[in-house]
C-alpha cells in the first residue's frame, strides 16, 4: 500500500515534466541485460583438466559456496534471476562446456557440449550469449593467442573462435534470439615492444580468417572487445581501442567497450555517442574498475548513470547490447549478480525519468545555468518510489528484501558445498 501511494505521488512529480510513467516502465521491461555466468564460479569453468586462471585477469576472495559444476551454476543463476526484475540473458564462456568428464580440446568444441545450457535456457525462457575462451590454457601460457608468432598456435585459436561462432549460431537458432559472440584475447607484452605493428597485423589476419566463415546475423552477432592493459601486459595490448574500433567499423562487426579497459579518467559514457554515429550497434561490458581493471561489482555510481543516460537520451536502447563483466569472490556470488544487475536496470530507469528534450533545448540555447540546476535537482527526485513500484509490479522483492532470499539460499544450499 505504501509502495503504491508513494508511487502515485512520485508519478505526479514526473508527469509535471511530461514524463509518461507507464511508457517508461513498459520500455524498461523490454530491456534485456546479458548476465555473465563467470561471476558464479570465479571464472574457473568446468573443463576436464581446467588450468589456473590466466590472461592477465584475476579474481580475489574465497567466499564459500561457489558453483562446482554446470548444474550448480544454473541453479545459482536461476535463483539470482528470480530476484532481478525483467527477462534477461545469460552470457557463457567456452570453458562452461559440458563434456561428461571427457577432455575436449577447445578447437573441437561443438554445439552438443552446450545442449544442457540450451535446454535450461528454453525452460526458463531466456537467450544466451557466448565467448570463446582464449586464456587459462597451455596454448596461451605466454600470453599470446591470435597474434602469436607461431602459426600453429594462431591456427588453434582461430579454429576455437570459428567453433565458438558456430555454437553462437546454434544458440540463436534454438532460442529464437541472436547470440552475441564476443572475442576478447589477452595478447600483449609486459615491457615496451620493439614492434607494435607485426602482432597487430597478425591479429587482423586471424580475425579475417575467423570471420570469413559466413554466419547469418539472425542467429549470431560478432563482437570484438578491446583492452588497455592486463597483468603481464602492462606496456602493450595488441587488441587496443583503436585497433578494434577500426576493425569493427571496417568489417561491420560490433565493437565491445568494457568499462574497465580504459585509462582511469577516460569514460565509456563519453564514447557511446561517437561510436553510434558510425555504427548502428555497440556492445558493453559494464564493470567497475577500482584503480585497475579489477572487475568490482557494478554500483549505482556517476559513471553507471552517465552510461545509462547516454543510451536513453540518444534513443539507443535497441542499438546497445548491455552485458555485465565483474567477478568478486569476496562476497556472496549470487548477491554480486543481483546487486550489479539491479543497479544496471535502476540506472536505466533513472535515465528514463529525465526531461531529455527540455535539457537538450537548454543546451542549444546556451542556458547552462538552468541545465545544471535541473540536472542536479533531478538527482533527488523520487525515483526510488518508481523503482520500488517497478520491482513489486515485476514480482521481485522490493528494496533489500531480496537479501533475505539470498541469505536463506546461502544457508540451505551454498554452505553445503565443500
Ligand atoms: C572473462 C571475460 O570474458 C573477460 O573478463 C573479458 O571480457 C575481459 O574483460 C578481460 O579483461
Ligand atoms: Mn570484458
pLDDT of residue 368 exceeding 90 = yes
ipTM: 0.98
CA of 200 to the centre of ligand 2 (A): 20
Run of H or E including 271: helix 269-278
Angle, nearest 10°, between helix axes 21-30 and 333-352?
140
Query: CA-based Rg of the chain, rounded to a whole angstrom?
Result: 22
Reduced to 3 states (helix: H, G, I; strand: E, B; else coil), residue 261 is: coil
Residue tagged active-site, from 72, 129, 325, 405? 325
pTM: 0.98
Q: How far apart are CA 120 and CA 133, in angstroms?
A: 22
Q: Which of 285, 231, 295 is nearest to 56 (CA)?
A: 231
Amino acid 49: pLDDT: 87
Of 225, 257, 298, which is best to mutate to test ligand 1, by the most ligand atoms within 8 angstroms of its C-beta? 225
Q: Which of 38, 184, 337, 387 is catalytic?
A: 184
293 is catalytic: yes
356, with CB counted inside 10 A (0-12, 13-18, 19+), is: middle
pLDDT mean across residues, the chain: 98
Dist. CA 53 → ligand 2 center (Å): 15
Pocket test of ligand 1: the residue of 39, 285, 326, 329 to mutate, having most ligand atoms within 8 Å of its CB, is 285
Question: From ligand 1's centre to the CA of 226, what distance in Å?
Answer: 10
pLDDT of residue 339: 98
Question: Binding site for Mn(2+), residues?
Answer: 261, 293, 295
Among 38, 130, 325, 326, the mutation site with the greatest number of ligand 1 atoms within 8 A of its Cβ is 325
Nearest residue CA, atom 11 of ligand 1? 57
pLDDT per residue as tens digits for the range 31-46: 999 999 999 999 999 9
Residue whose Cα lies nearest atom 5 of ligand 1: it is 325
Instruction: Name which residue sits closest to atom 10 of ligand 1, judged by CA.
Output: 57
Pinpoint the residues of the chain covered by CATH 3.20.20.150: 31-352
Encode pLDDT of 150-170 as tens digits. 999 999 999 999 999 999 999
- For residues 212 and 253, the answer to whether their CB atoms sit within 8 Å is no
Instruction: Determine whether the shortest distance from the Cβ of 285 to ligand 1 is under 6 A.
Output: yes
Residues ≥6 apart with Cβ < 8 Å to 100: none
pLDDT category of residue 87 using cuts at 50, 70 and 90:
very high
Does the structure show a pLDDT above 80 at 58? yes
The separation between CA 43 and the C-alpha centre of its own chain, rounded to angstroms, equals: 14
Average pLDDT over residues 371-391: 98
CA 351 to chain centre: 19
pLDDT band at 304 (very low <50, low <70, confident <90, very high): very high
SS3 of residue 61 by DSSP: coil
**If you measure from the C-alpha of residue 374 to the centroid of ligand 1, how many angstroms do you get, rounded to a whole number?**
37
DSSP state of 53: P
Distance 256 CA to ligand 2 centre (A): 8
Which helix (H) or strand (E) covers residue 87, if one does?
A: none
The answer to whether residue 418 scores a pLDDT higher than 90 is: no
CA 154 to mean position of chain CA atoms: 26
Residue % of the chain over a pLDDT of 90: 99
What is the pLDDT averaged over residues 208-227?
Answer: 98
Q: What is the mean pLDDT of residues 239-267?
A: 98
Active-site position among 47, 187, 293, 303: 293
Strand-pair partners of 286: 324
Question: What is the SS3 assignment for 30?
Answer: helix
- Does the CB atom of residue 165 touch ligand 1 within 6 A? no
Q: Has 337 been annotated as catalytic?
A: no
Question: Is 3.20.20.150 the CATH classification of the domain at 31-352?
Answer: yes
Helix, coil or strand: residue 318: coil
pLDDT digit string (tens) for 99-129?
999 999 999 999 999 999 999 999 999 999 9
3-class DSSP state for residue 379?
coil
Query: What pLDDT, in 10s, does the model give residues 307-328?
Result: 999 999 999 999 999 999 999 9
List, for residues 224-245, the tens digit of each pLDDT value. 999 999 999 999 999 999 999 9
**What separation, in Å, do the N-terminal and C-terminal C-alpha atoms of the chain show?**
43
Amino acid at each position: 500500500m505504501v509502495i503504491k501511494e508513494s508511487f502515485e505521488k512520485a508519478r505526479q512529480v514526473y508527469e509535471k515534466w511530461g514524463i509518461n510513467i507507464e511508457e517508461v516502465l513498459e520500455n524498461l521491461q523490454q530491456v534485456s541485460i546479458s548476465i555473465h555466468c563467470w561471476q558464479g564460479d570465479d571464472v574457473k569453468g568446468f573443463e576436464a583438466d581446467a588450468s589456473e586462471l590466466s590472461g592477465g585477469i584475476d579474481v580475489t576472495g574465497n567466499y564459500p559456496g561457489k558453483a562446482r559444476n554446470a548444474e550448480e551454476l544454473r541453479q545459482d543463476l536461476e535463483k539470482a534471476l528470480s530476484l532481478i526484475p525483467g527477462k534477461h540473458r545469460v552470457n557463457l564462456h567456452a570453458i562452461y562446456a559440458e563434456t561428461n568428464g571427457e577432455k575436449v580440446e577447445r578447437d573441437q568444441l561443438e554445439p552438443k557440449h552446450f545442449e544442457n545450457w540450451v535446454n535450461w535456457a528454453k525452460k526458463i525462457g531466456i537467450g544466451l550469449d557466448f565467448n570463446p575462451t582464449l586464456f587459462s590454457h597451455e596454448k596461451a601460457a605466454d600470453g599470446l593467442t591470435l597474434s602469436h608468432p607461431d602459426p600453429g598456435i594462431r591456427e588453434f585459436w582461430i579454429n576455437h573462435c570459428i567453433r565458438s561462432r558456430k555454437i553462437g549460431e546454434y544458440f540463436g537458432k534454438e532460442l529464437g534470439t541472436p547470440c552475441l559472440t564476443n572475442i576478447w584475447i589477452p595478447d600483449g607484452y609486459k615491457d615496451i615492444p620493439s614492434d607494435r605493428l607485426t602482432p597487430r597485423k597478425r591479429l587482423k589476419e586471424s580475425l579475417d580468417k575467423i570471420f570469413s566463415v559466413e554466419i547469418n546475423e539472425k542467429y549470431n552477432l560478432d563482437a570484438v572487445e578491446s583492452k588497455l592493459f592486463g597483468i603481464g601486459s602492462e606496456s602493450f595490448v595488441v587488441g587496443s581501442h583503436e585497433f578494434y574500433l577500426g576493425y569493427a567499423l571496417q568489417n561491420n562487426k560490433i565493437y565491445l567497450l568494457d568499462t574497465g579497459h580504459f585509462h582511469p579518467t577516460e569514460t565509456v559514457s563519453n564514447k557511446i555517442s561517437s561510436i553510434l554515429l558510425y555504427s548502428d550497434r555497440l556492445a558493453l561490458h559494464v564493470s567497475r574498475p577500482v584503480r585497475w581493471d579489477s572487475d568490482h561489482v557494478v554500483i549505482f555510481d556517476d559513471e553507471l548513470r552517465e552510461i545509462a543516460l547516454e543510451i536513453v537520451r540518444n534513443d539507443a536502447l535497441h542499438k546497445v547490447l548491455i552485458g555485465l563483466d565483474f567477478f568478486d569472490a569476496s562476497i556472496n556470488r549470487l548477491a554480486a549478480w543481483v546487486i550489479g544487475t539491479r543497479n544496471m536496470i535502476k540506472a536505466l530507469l533513472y535515465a528514463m525519468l529525465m526531461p531529455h528534450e527540455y535539457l537538450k533545448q537548454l543546451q542549444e540555447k546556451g542556458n547552462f545555468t538552468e541545465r545544471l540546476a535541473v540536472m542536479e535537482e533531478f538527482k533527488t527526485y523520487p525515483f526510488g518510489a518508481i523503482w520500488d513500484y517497478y520491482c513489486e509490479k515485476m514480482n521481485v522483492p522490493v528494496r533489500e528484501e531480496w537479501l533475505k532470499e539470498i541469505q536463506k539460499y546461502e544457508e540451505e544450499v551454498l554452505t553445503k558445498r565443500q
